Structure 1
Amino acid sequence: MVDVGEDDDDADVRHPQKKFFRTRAHVNVLNANDFWYPVNPAAVPWAEYFPALAASSSAAAVPMPPVEFVDIGCGYGSLLFELAKIYPHTPILGIEIREKVVQYVQQSTLALREEARKLTMAAAAKAAAAPNDVSAASAAAAAANAPTFENVWALKNNAMRFMPNFFAKEQLSKLFFCFADPHFKRKNHRKRIVSQALLAEYAYVMKPGGFAYVITDVADLMLWMVDHFSSSPLFERLPREALKADPTVPALIRTDEGLKVQGNNGNMYIAVFRKRLDPLAPREPPPPNDNAAAALAASDAGYTPKEGGERRGMTW
Structure 2
Amino acid sequence: MSQNPKPSSSSSSKSKSSGLPRKRFYRARAHSNPLSDSHFPVPINPSLFNLSQHYPHFFPDRSNAPKRIEFADIGCGFGGLLVTLSPIFPDTLMIGMEIRDKVASYVDERIRALRTPLGDYHNISVVRTNSMKYLPNYFEKAQLSKMFFLFPDPHFKEKNRRRRVISESLLDEYAYVMKVGGLVYAVTDVEELGEWIRGCLERHCLFQRVGDEEAAGDPVAKVLESATEEGKKVLRNGGQTFRCVYRRIAA
Q: TM-score by structure 1 length?
A: 0.74
For 1:253, the equivalent position in structure 2 comes to 225
Higher strand share: 2
Alignment counterpart, residue 179 of structure 2, candidates 198, 204, 207: 207
Instruction: After TM superposition, give the deviation of residue 268 of structure 1 in Å.
Output: 0.7
For 2:166, the equivalent position in structure 1 comes to 194
Larger relative contact order (CA 8 Å, sep ≥ 6):
2
Question: What amino acid does structure 2 have at the position aligned with 1:251?
Answer: V
Alignment counterpart, residue 103 of structure 1, candidates 99, 102, 105: 105
Q: Distance in 1 between matches of 2:108 and 2:19?
A: 12
The answer to which of 151-160 and 244-253 deviates more is 244-253
Alignment counterpart, residue 172 of structure 1, candidates 144, 168, 179: 144
* Count of matched residue positions in the alignment of Structure 1 and Structure 2: 241
| Correspondences of 1:29-178 after superposition (within 5 Å) | 29-55=34-60, 63-113=65-115, 116-117=116-117, 148-178=120-150
Alignment counterpart, residue 25 of structure 2, candidates 5, 20, 23: 20
Report the aligned-residue RMSD. Answer: 1.6
Q: Structure 1 residues 57, 238: CA separation in 2 closer, same or farther (over 3 Å shift)?
A: farther
State the structure with more CA Rg.
1
For 1:272, the equivalent position in structure 2 comes to 245
Unmatched runs of 5 consecutive residues or more in structure 1: 121-146, 280-316
Superposition misfits of 4+ residues, deviation over 2 angstroms? 5-8
Q: Distance in 2 between matches of 1:223 and 1:35?
A: 33
Question: What amino acid does structure 2 have at the position aligned with 1:36?
Answer: P
Equivalent residues of 1:212, 1:274 under 8 A apart? yes
Q: Distance in 2 between matches of 1:44 and 1:57?
A: 12
Q: Distance in 2 between matches of 1:39 and 1:56?
A: 23
Instruction: After TM superposition, give the deviation of residue 57 of structure 1 in Å.
Output: 9.0
Q: Distance in 2 between matches of 1:99 and 1:274?
A: 31
Equivalent residues of 1:93, 1:154 under 8 A apart? yes
After superposition, what is the alpha-carbon deviation per residue over 1:27-65, rounded to whole angstroms, capped at 9, x for unaligned? 11110332211111000011010000112896xxx9241
After superposition, what is the alpha-carbon deviation per residue over 1:135-186, rounded to whole angstroms, capped at 9, x for unaligned? xxxxxxxxxxxx7000000000000000001000000000000000000010
